[in-house]
Amino acid sequence: MDSHPQLCQVIGDRIAKSPDQRITFAEYMDIVLYHPEYGYYSTQAINLGKQGDFFTSVHLGADFGELLAEQFLQMWEILDKPVPFSLVEMGAAQGYLALDILKYLQQHHPQFFAALRYTIVEKSPAFRQLQQQRLQDFQVVNWCSLDEIPSNSITGCFFSNELVDALPVHRFILEKGQLREIYVTLVKESSHGSENKQNSEEKSLLESLGCGVFRFAEVIGSVSTPRLAEYFDLVGVQLTNGLYPQGYRSEVNLAALDWLSVVADRLRRGYVLTIDYGYPASRYYNPRRWQGTLQCYWRHQRHDNPYINIGRQDITAHVDFTALEKWGEEWGLNKVGFTTQEVFLMMLGLGNRIKSAIDSEQSISKVLSLRDALHQLIDPLGLGGFGVLLQSKGLSSKESSQPLRGFSVPEPVFI
């Protein structure tokens, strides 16, 4: 599969115009995924799901959304049934999760449904369009950016499923015990190997050529921001303790911190629920995980080369849940609980759904496929191993003391 030529041109231009002829990996990932015309999430929006590049819990049926809806209902009850109660879904992709939640609440909990305001924050214009089509029957839904939500205005719950892993990350490498950053530059393809593209004649050539003549490559330099070193203080990881090998590389998701501080600022009273794949920092930055967690997905194939299939494949990195927890504390978010998706969904009643699927009088093939979908949601080696972090803000001590159903068993130990 070829890279998207216009997208390569855009990235190449950005590199050529930057002072050191290089951009951070975070800038590269941001353009590759989110360029409004040519980015992966603009052109491949249709390509999610069982037949696409990757699928999420949402593509396994309505159960995931319905169980989440049960958790939202309990949040509303704990907060003494405020009207309106806002659900703010961030990164809603094709809008299936919103549809499952809204349909279920309308049918099973009409009083809560009547109190609801459902806001979607979506960066991709293509996905926003899909969502608007899919959800057109629901008047309660509105779209805006996080910036458009006034400070301290939301009573309810901000939530996301697989948003944070899709935010652009910085990449770093340890060289002689020093934290250094991995940048993206251009090299010219030649029959005698490749050479750095430097002179201005080549720069103007680039303006008229796509990815065929130049390719993107990594170059190492000093860090672009002191925030990278500060991050490790935040999460309590000491990269200079002698345990990390020369050449150890990984990622830092500063965009996740920026995102969380805005969310915390907009929330007046309620919760932030984050579901994603990832680990606590001690496991994320284990010296043995020396190549980081960056992954690319193309038609269900997983690999670690973000410089091929540019604009045609997804790029993600695991989530450091310790960073969300610690950074959240600095912004007034208290950790309510952290668990796995397996435990979370079981506590919300997924076990009963498996039983009902088996007891139902449907054809054996239907029963088996239902059961298979439910099992996938709780498979500890797959979606069931995802982390589920719940944070809260502005709750009274009585409200804080009420255990939420999805978090009512002790936190699992992540090694």
Q: Where would I find the H helices in 238-393?
A: 254-266, 281-284, 321-330, 341-347, 350-359, 364-378
By CB under 6 A, which span of 86-94, 108-116, 367-375, 401-409 interacts with ligand SAM?
A: 86-94
Q: Are 169 and 98 in contact (CB under 8 A)?
A: no
Question: Which residues contact residue 164 at a Cβ distance below 8 angstroms, ignoring those fewer than 6 apart?
Answer: 253, 256, 259, 274, 276, 278, 319, 324
Q: Which of residues 1-20 bind ligand SAM (CB under 6 A)?
A: none
Q: Where would I find the H helices in 4-150?
A: 5-17, 25-34, 40-43, 63-78, 96-108, 110-115, 125-134
Distance CA 357, CA 132 (A): 32
Task: Check residue 253 for interaction with ligand SAM (CB under 6 A).
Answer: no
Smallest gap from Cβ 123 to ligand SAM, in A, equals: 4
Question: Which residues contact residue 242 at a Cβ distance below 8 angstroms, ignoring those fewer than 6 apart?
Answer: none
User: To which H or E segment does residue 252 belong?
Assistant: strand 249-252
Task: Check residue 157 for interaction with ligand SAM (CB under 6 A).
Answer: no
Cis peptide before 287, with omega less than 30 degrees from 0?
A: no
The first and second tokens of residue 312, run together, are 């045609």
**For residue 265, what are the CA distances in angstroms to 319, 323, 329, 331?**
21, 17, 12, 7
Smallest gap from Cβ 129 to ligand SAM, in A, equals: 12
Candidates 127, 284, 298, 344; binder of ligand SAM (CB under 6 A) is 127
CA nearest 345: which of 74, 58, 63? 63
By CB under 6 A, which span of 90-98, 103-111, 225-233, 397-405 interacts with ligand SAM?
A: 90-98
Smallest gap from Cβ 356 to ligand SAM, in A, equals: 24
Task: Check residue 312 for interaction with ligand SAM (CB under 6 A).
Answer: no
Task: Check residue 121 for interaction with ligand SAM (CB under 6 A).
Answer: yes
Distance CA 320, CA 282 (A): 9
Contact map string, positions 54 to 83, toward ligand SAM, x by CB under 6 A = --x-x-------------------------
Smallest gap from Cβ 231 to ligand SAM, in A, equals: 19
DSSP type of residue 177: T
Task: Check residue 276 for interaction with ligand SAM (CB under 6 A).
Answer: no
Task: Check residue 29 for interaction with ligand SAM (CB under 6 A).
Answer: no
Task: Check residue 162 for interaction with ligand SAM (CB under 6 A).
Answer: yes
Task: Check residue 97 for interaction with ligand SAM (CB under 6 A).
Answer: yes
Candidates 75, 93, 102, 239; binder of ligand SAM (CB under 6 A) is 93
Candidates 4, 22, 35, 123; binder of ligand SAM (CB under 6 A) is 123
Distance CA 94, CA 79 (A): 30
Residue 102 backbone dihedrals phi, psi, to 5 degrees:
-65, -45
- Between 115 and 374, name the residue whose CB sits nearer to ligand SAM: 374
Mapped onto helix, strand or coil, the DSSP state of residue 159 is strand
Smallest gap from Cβ 109 to ligand SAM, in A, equals: 22
Task: Check residue 166 for interaction with ligand SAM (CB under 6 A).
Answer: yes
By CB under 6 A, which span of 160-168, 200-208, 284-292, 367-375 interacts with ligand SAM?
A: 160-168
- Between 163 and 347, name the residue whose CB sits nearer to ligand SAM: 163
The first and second tokens of residue 384, run together, are 């069931």
Mapped onto helix, strand or coil, the DSSP state of residue 264 is helix
Candidates 87, 90, 154, 264; binder of ligand SAM (CB under 6 A) is 90
Mapped onto helix, strand or coil, the DSSP state of residue 222 is coil
105 burial type by CB count under 10 A (0-12 exposed, 13-18 middle, 19+ buried):
buried
By CB under 6 A, which span of 89-97, 135-143, 217-225, 320-328 interacts with ligand SAM?
A: 89-97
Task: Check residue 313 for interaction with ligand SAM (CB under 6 A).
Answer: no
Task: Check residue 91 for interaction with ligand SAM (CB under 6 A).
Answer: yes
By CB under 6 A, which span of 122-130, 171-179, 208-216, 224-232 interacts with ligand SAM?
A: 122-130
Contact map string, positions 32 to 51, toward ligand SAM, x by CB under 6 A = ---------x----------
* Chain residues that interact with ligand SAM, rule: CB under 6 A: 41, 56, 58, 90-93, 97, 121-124, 127, 161-163, 166-167
